[in-house]
Amino acid sequence: MANDNQGLQENRVFAPPAEFVANAAISGMDAYNKLCAEAASDYEGFWARLARENLDWHKPFTTTLDESEAPFYKWFADGELNVSYNCLDRNLKNGNANKTAIIFEADDGKVTRATYQELYEKVCKFANGLKSRGIKKGDRVVIYMSMSIEGVAAMQACARIGATHSVVFGGFSAKSLQERIIDAGAVAVITADEQLRGGKQLPLKTIVDEALALGGCTTMKDVIVYKRTGGNIPIVEGRDIWLHDLVESQPAECEPEWVSAEHPLFILYTSGSTGTPKGVQHSTGGFLLWAALTMKWSFDIKPSDVFWCTADIGWVTGHTYIAYGPLAVGATEIVFEGVPTYPNAGRFWETIDKHKATIFYTAPTAIRSLIKAADVDPQVHPKNYDLSSLRLLGSVGEPINPEAWMWYYKNIGHEKCPIVDTFWQTETGGHMITPLPGATPMVPGSCTLPLPGIMTAIVDEAGHDVPNGQGGILVVKRPWPSMIRTIWGNPERFKTSYFPDELGGRMYLAGDGAIRNKDTGYFTITGRIDDVLNVSGHRMGTMEIESALVANPIVAEAAVVGKPDDTTGESICAFVVLKQARPTGEEAKKLALELRNWVAKEIGPIAKPKEIRFGDNLPKTRSGKIMRRLLRVLARGETITQDVSTLENPAILEQLKEAS
Ligand code: ATP
Ligand code: MG
């Protein structure tokens, strides 16, 4: 599993701008080191201080960390609080009542705003409406909605009454939705009639109907429907209720349900890049603490900021950095309904310009596709838009290839915005390893250093630390407040997946490979641990070869997998998307040869892909991640029998079956 390559040969270093450093929440490396030292000398005291300073507690906690049932750790367990109180009521008390909480940018460009006062009232009515249907603390509620103020309000309303939500991304099929409803044992589904995406009206409510018709959803009682498009949909008497009817006569105040800090705030299924999705259970107190604190530390959020995270509420990024984090710190945020390519691929840049966004947080997959789009159509190049409001950029979801980083830095940030390359997972609840925008010198493609209090390390298969410069397995050595509590209904899988006996049973296994730079100690994620390649005894991460390919000007995207080979043990098969149309025949052969030689020159002959296949796209999860596990099957020429429920574009598999 280890990776004994030297990691990315990346020598470019970018210091954070002096002005940013001067005003940052964590200003300079000394401030960062001081916080790390505090955590090292008194771990529990460190977290207790932060929890007291950053959250409003109804009943203060007396124990910080309870390890008695490790790895089922508990944080602040005897404390009581309410997430919605911390996100809404607290802002009304802090003088933010008339501040804009959400700027909603609809698919068609229509804008709706909600102040903290308005959002508070919406959430209270929603919460009272849920209570009127008998939904109560501890019940599970599935939310199957597109991006909307109502979607955020639905999550907040559940939190307000102590119901545990499970948001299912609005692109999932009836079957996937049914499985999640059953697994969570949900009593209600909150949905919309339809969703608007890329100028199209797409079904939501009819998919809920289909999911329930599949059977087995024995706990389900209510379907609550938000009218988004007014499309024609059937209503089942007694089971279905319109949201506007539900909330109509409800009072605009609702006493929050005070819950233990360990009360499950939500269950969220992982994206399924590496296997069957897991129902990740998160807590109330620890989760909210980290959501709020990372808004301050990683995003350096200020009262004047306009924060824009482009994720969907169906993914963890949309939980921590749309539904909870920004509101917990009283920020103004953009909630975007549409897609990056509608009405054209300049939509993100136009929206930043339109709302004067100051912090922009998106995924490498979006950046790579917009680089390609700007190359093909100069009209949608970011230079046509005024992006001068931006002061900070962020990336999340996959490793960002250094060349994509450079493009983002130059063309979007105009070399004045730091980029926070935030490494984290559904399971971690919030950022783990990231540069601090006012402190950490940045290196393209490296997520740099762990946040204060996050005890990441790189170990070998036996759990022993490996020296810097030598790759291995990324682990977290101490529990942290926002960590996963269990896999819903499957504590055994929780233990074996994340705290395997081979590593001693107390180290959190992230599932990613990483390497630390010899000189700086900076972390670079090299790929999933199952994705490490072994060619003639040389271990390599997929990330390094992919980044070399993406550094070639004709390449838009690349994914690399291993394939059994008689002579070398494993050989490298690269799947490549070019900026130009997909080549075939002789042209494909010529370009493949060119790219193979390119990789040999960039990294070394050992990294030269044996085979290159060109596609119009790569198989991706609905959250935009490359599904290398499927590519491995294709590379071997086998038939796919694995779980493909979270695959966005099944048609692409056919094209990638053989060499072009
Ligand atoms: P599953 O666990 O079901 O396979 P998944 O791991 O894709 O799905 P997520 O929790 O959404 O589900 O993604 C977390 C993973 O995304 C990380 O483990 C890592 O591989 C990748 N990742 C996220 N951010 C970064 C980043 N900044 N740099 C490198 N990799 C990242
Ligand atoms: Mg994962």
Q: What is the DSSP string of 228-271?
A: SS-------TTTEEEHHHHHTT--S--PPPPEETTS--EEEE--
Distance in angstroms (rounded) separating the CA atoms of residues 16 and 18? 6
Torsion of CA 207, 212, 214, 217, to 10 degrees: 140
Identify the nearest ligand to the CA of 446 by its number. 1
Instruction: Dig out the tokens for 343 from the structure.
Output: 């009405």
List of residues 6+ apart from 359 with CB closer than 8 A = 299, 301, 305, 306, 307, 308, 390, 391, 392, 393, 394
ipTM, two decimals: 0.99
To test the ligand 1 pocket, which listed residue (425, 473, 494) has its Cβ within 8 A of the most ligand atoms?
Answer: 425
Q: Is 453 in the pocket of ligand 1 (CB under 6 A)?
A: no
**Per DSSP, which regions of 462-507 are E strands?**
472-476, 486-487
Ligand having the closest approach to the CA of 476: 1
The pLDDT score that the predictor gives to residue 2 is 35
Kindly compute the dihedral angle of the four CA atoms of residues 24, 26, 29, 35, in this order, to the nearest 10 degrees. Answer: 170
Q: Residue 274: nearest ligand to its CA? A: 1
Counting from 1 in the atom list of ligand 1, the atom nearest the Cα of 316 is: 11
Q: Is the pTM above the cut of 0.90?
A: yes
| Gap from CA of 472 to ligand 1 centroid (Å) | 17
- Looking at the CA of 512, name the nearest ligand: 1
Question: Up-side HSE of residue 387: CA atoms within 13 Å toward CB?
Answer: 25
What are the tens digits of pLDDT across the range 164-188?
999 999 999 999 999 999 999 999 9
CA of 407 to the centre of ligand 2 (A): 27
H helices within 162-198, ranges in order? Answer: 174-184
CA of 308 to the centre of ligand 2 (A): 24
179 C-alpha to ligand 2 centroid (Å): 19
- Residue 441: strand, helix, or coil: coil
Q: Which ligand is nearest to the CA of 474?
A: 1
The pLDDT value recorded for residue 660 is 60
Atom in ligand 1 nearest the alpha carbon of residue 315 = 11
- For the Cβ of 361 lying below 6 angstroms from any atom of ligand 1, the answer is no
Minimum CA distance residue for ligand 1 atom 26: 423
pLDDT at 68: 98
Q: Report the residue among 393, 423, 449 best suited for mutation to probe ligand 1: largest number of ligand atoms under 8 A from its CB.
A: 423
Query: Residue 581: its pLDDT value, please?
Result: 94
For residue 323 the two structure tokens come to 């539904």
User: C-alpha distances in angstroms, 62 versus 147, 489, 632?
Assistant: 38, 29, 50
Q: How far is CA 539 from CA 106, 424, 596, 602, in A?
A: 47, 24, 18, 17
Binding residues for CoA: 197-200, 317, 536
Q: Which two tokens stand for residue 267?
A: 């269950």
DSSP E strands, 402-551: 419-422, 456-459, 472-476, 486-487, 508-516, 523-528, 533-535, 538-540
Closest approach atom of ligand 1 to CA 426 = 10
Does ligand 1 have an atom closer than 6 angstroms to the CB of 273? Answer: yes
CA 197, distance to chain mean position in Å, is 20
Cα dihedral 422, 115, 99, 91, rounded to 10, equals -70
Tell me if 404 CB under 6 Å of ligand 1. no
**Do residues 643 and 649 touch, judged by C-beta distance below 8 A?**
no
Specify the pairing of strand 392-396 against strand 359-362. Answer: parallel
The CATH code for residues 536-656 is 3.30.300.30
Amino acid at 576: V
For the chain, list residues with pLDDT below 70: 1-9, 660
Using CA atoms of 365, 370, 373, 374 in order, give the dihedral in degrees to the nearest 10.
-150
Domain limits of the chain?
Answer: 536-656
Pocket test residue of 176, 183, 273, 487 for ligand 1, highest count of atoms within 8 A of CB: 273
How wide is the angle at C-alpha 373 spanned by C-alphas 368 and 378, nearest 5°? Answer: 130
| Of 270, 361, 543, best ligand 1 pocket probe by most atoms within 8 Å of the beta carbon | 270
**Could you tell me how far CA 563 lies from the centroid of its own chain?**
29
CA 609 to chain centre: 30
Could you tell me the two tokens for 240?
A: 């279905």
Would you call 103 helix, strand, or coil by DSSP? strand
CB atoms within 10 A of CB 118: 17
Q: Which atom of ligand 1 is nearest to the CA of 433?
A: 27
CA of 425 to the centre of ligand 2 (A): 6
Q: What is the pLDDT of residues 98-137, one digit of tens each?
A: 999 999 999 999 999 999 999 999 999 999 999 999 999 9
Task: Give the orientation angle of helix 149-161 with respect to helix 116-132, to 10 degrees.
Answer: 60
The answer to whether the Cα torsion of 63, 69, 72, 78 is positive or negative is: negative
Closest by CA position to 578, among listed 477, 660, 640: 660
Cβ burial of 538 (10 Å; 0-12, 13-18, 19+) is: middle
Q: Please tell me if the CB atom of residue 448 comes closer than 6 angstroms to any atom of ligand 1.
A: no
| Two tokens, residue 17 | 């701008």
What distance in angstroms lies between residue 215's CA and the mean position of ligand 2's atoms?
Answer: 29
